[in-house]
Structure 1
Amino acid sequence: MNLHSIWPLGLIGVLVVSVSHVSGHGDPAARIFTDPAHDALVIDLAPMDLPANTPHHAIAQPPVATLEIPVTGYIYGFRAEVVDSAGRVLPDELIHHFNLIDPDHRELFLPISRRLLAAGHETGAIRLPWLLFGLPLKRGEHVVASAMVENLTPVAYRQARVRLVMDFTPAGRPWPLFAASPWQMDVAFPVGDKSFALPPGRSSRSYEGSPAVPGKIVGLGGHMHDHGQLIEFTDATTGQVIYRAAPAADSAGHIASVPVSRLYGWSGIGLHVVPSHRYRVTVYYDNPTGQPIPDGGMGVVGGLFVPDRAREWPAADPRDSLYQKDYRHYMRLEGGHGMPMAGQSMPMPMHMKMGAH
């Protein structure tokens, strides 16, 4: 079963019982609310106009939104989409990517804000076994939501919204059995823009690091741009290949999807990673144009991680210099975005509320 079979298009007529905004944090038109009829937690970014035949750099992108989690529970699936002013789902190709970030906790491989979800138009619906896994969220914690859209179709859309629909299990139920957290490793780590100029011909790019806590990777997938040939994640200490995937292309040769690997079954759950080892992500490209492609490259793997028992996910340290630089970047306060924004981002908080699962 996928999210298309669960959700009515546009969530028209949803009974909203909990809506929460963080005053002054991003755009007030963004919203987060629960849909108890479908056990969902939903984020809508601010409405925007999408003129026809317009690339992303010429569209006023929805402003970054910082929102407060309205209820405690677990996420076990999600889908990013764009809906029109009547709530009808628009073509998948309108969304380039959606990011959901947790500023209260650190990343597994870096002392920057934890990336909760990342989706592109090729990602599709992601849904984990609700009995086994769930990403814990606590009421009062924060999330930062942002997206990039483009409209290369001949049809214009007014007052469209980027929407993230998350399958949600309220607290107090006997499931899920494992509290799992997302992780990612990007070839453009540690901070800054994650796209890079793609040179002509064959090329590759890598990054490596060690996890902050031991645990098991139970699922992972990848994201890359057109002309991507392969992406892999390896244990650089032992040479073991943990994940290797080649993208699937559509009829026009554009990347349509990247395979997802689920590392659990009847024989066991997950592949164990430890802080004493180094792990590496590598993406491979073959650019046949003969010219460099600005922002043409990207390579990231990410997935689900279950910390070893009695190990809590580490809190972020907002005093860390990498944390501060990363925060200013994803809030679009500085550096290299090169696109108009339909709103302003908030300044860096001096006393951010910290928490730990």
Structure 2
Amino acid sequence: MSLRRLTLAVAAAVAVAGTAVAGIPVASAADGGEPQAAMTETRTIRYGPWTIPAATGHTHDEMGGTGNRLAFNIEKPCTDCMVTAIKPNLVYEDGRNANINTGPMLHHAVIGQLGEPDLVCRLGGLGPKRLFSSGNERTPVTLPAGYGLRIDSGDRWSMVYDLMNHAHQERTVYISIEYTYVTGPAARRLTPVTPMWLDVVSCLNPTFDVPAGEVTRTKRWKSTVSGEIVYLKGHLHHGGRTITTTNATTGQRLCEVTVVSGGTPEYIDEHGNKEISSAPPCIGAPVATVRRGDVLEVAARYVADHPHEDVMGIVTGYIAER
């Protein structure tokens, strides 16, 4: 599904209103000797339900889909808090995992905050600030100890989502997101991070077409802030192999994400089609230090056995400004 309609929808909405690791702790103990774990809460919110039309064939062009849709004023996990981890999923009413082995696919979901400027895509300073996104690989965000994404009481969240269906019967699903967050004095001791979104196309429409064979597409952004990048993850489509972030000013390789397709049975549909099953992120304290004026380059590499339309090459992450 293309994001071209998404760009117009978001614009209209605005006018109206280092190293891949696992098991990083969500927060560190603060001064005073208080155990940080006692300050941490976890909450799962379901968004939906949404019904996805049935597929009419077995190719990607014949999959059922919702197309890009907007959900306004969606529920936040907390207020006056710091989110330290976000884990996305797609589920059925009874809580079972919904993936392409039974039909549904989380093509993408993007949570944004209206009225706040995005770090990279300014949109006249009105936002939305893109806070979190996921494709069907469902890569979780786990910030390193001592960092958090601040959520204030006045923040208004919206979601753009696009769901697909590989099955020949319609499916009804929920986007389920597990949030881990810190409140109270412990939250105030965490270092706030700013979300950042880099892609290889343009500010608003991150889709492009690739021919058969190997191709690499790149895009550069001159950083408007200085700080420590603490998390980076990548998103590619069919035929995607790697997506790399480099500081072109210093020559430092910041992160390279290599994707895997069909790594587990739930990422293989009944016709044998495989979807991306993992895209390990880069997490560190920091992954890299960036100075204002540094040029960051993102490079998405595709090796496709046939042409693909509307693919993506996106890197999202979080930076602690200073």
Give the TM-score range, shorter chain.
Answer: 0.7 to 0.9
Deviations 1:20-79 (A, max 9, x none): xxxxx99xxxxxxxxxxx934555433222344366874335841221756221111112
Task: Work out the CA distance in 1 between the residues paired with 2:153 and 2:42.
Answer: 15
Aligned length: 264
Q: Is the 8 A contact 2:143 2:231 kept in 1?
A: no
Q: Name 2:66's counterpart in structure 1.
A: 60
Opposite residue 181 of structure 1, the aligned amino acid is T
Deviations 1:257-288 (A, max 9, x none): 11211122xxxx34211222211111111222
Q: Is the 8 A contact 2:149 2:194 kept in 1?
A: yes
More deviation, 203-212/39-48 = 39-48
Matches within 5 A, 1:106-255: 106-112=117-123, 113=127, 114-129=129-144, 131-153=145-167, 156-158=170-172, 160-173=173-186, 177-192=190-205, 194-250=206-262, 254-255=275-276
Opposite residue 110 of structure 1, the aligned amino acid is C
Task: Work out the CA distance in 2 between the residues paired with 1:276 and 1:248.
Answer: 34
The question of 1:262 aligning with 2:288 is answered: no
Task: Work out the CA distance in 2 between the residues paired with 1:174 and 1:99.
Answer: 25
Q: Structure 1 vs Structure 2: percent identity of aligned residues? A: 22
If the length of structure 1 is used for normalisation, what is the TM-score? 0.66
The question of 1:103 aligning with 2:114 is answered: yes
Q: Name 2:8's counterpart in structure 1.
A: none
Q: Is the 8 A contact 2:201 2:207 kept in 1?
A: yes
Q: Name 2:301's counterpart in structure 1.
A: 284
Q: Cα–Cα, structure 1 residues 190 and 156, in superposed 2: closer, same or farther, change >3 Å? A: closer
Task: Work out the CA distance in 2 between the residues paired with 1:133 and 1:231.
Answer: 25
Offset of 1:175 from its aligned partner?
6.0
Task: Work out the CA distance in 2 between the residues paired with 1:79 and 1:155.
Answer: 28
Q: Is the 8 A contact 1:210 1:274 kept in 2?
A: no
Q: Is the 8 A contact 2:69 2:162 kept in 1?
A: no
Opposite residue 178 of structure 1, the aligned amino acid is T
Q: Which runs of 5+ in 2 are unaligned?
A: 1-15, 18-39, 264-272
Q: Cα–Cα, structure 1 residues 259 and 115, in superposed 2: closer, same or farther, change >3 Å? A: same
Opposite residue 149 of structure 2, the aligned amino acid is L
Q: Name 1:271's counterpart in structure 2.
A: 288
Q: Name 2:3's counterpart in structure 1.
A: none
Q: Is the 8 A contact 1:80 1:98 kept in 2?
A: no
Opposite residue 275 of structure 1, the aligned amino acid is R
Q: Cα–Cα, structure 1 residues 103 and 42, in superposed 2: closer, same or farther, change >3 Å? A: farther
Q: Is the 8 A contact 1:40 1:167 kept in 2?
A: yes
Task: Work out the CA distance in 2 between the residues paired with 1:149 and 1:142.
Answer: 23
Q: Name 2:98's counterpart in structure 1.
A: 90
Task: Work out the CA distance in 1 between the residues paired with 2:287 and 2:141.
Answer: 18
Q: Cα–Cα, structure 1 residues 255 and 47, in superposed 2: closer, same or farther, change >3 Å? A: closer
Q: Which runs of 5+ in 1 are unaligned?
A: 1-24, 27-37, 309-357
Q: Is the 8 A contact 2:55 2:63 kept in 1?
A: no
Offset of 1:254 from its aligned partner?
4.0
- Normalized per residue, the structure richer in strand is 2
Opposite residue 280 of structure 2, the aligned amino acid is P
Opposite residue 167 of structure 1, the aligned amino acid is T
Higher relative contact order, structure no. (Cα contacts within 8 Å, ≥ 6 residues apart): 2
Q: Is the 8 A contact 1:48 1:62 kept in 2?
A: no
Q: Cα–Cα, structure 1 residues 171 and 138, in superposed 2: closer, same or farther, change >3 Å? A: farther
Let me know the Cα RMSD of the aligned residues.
2.9
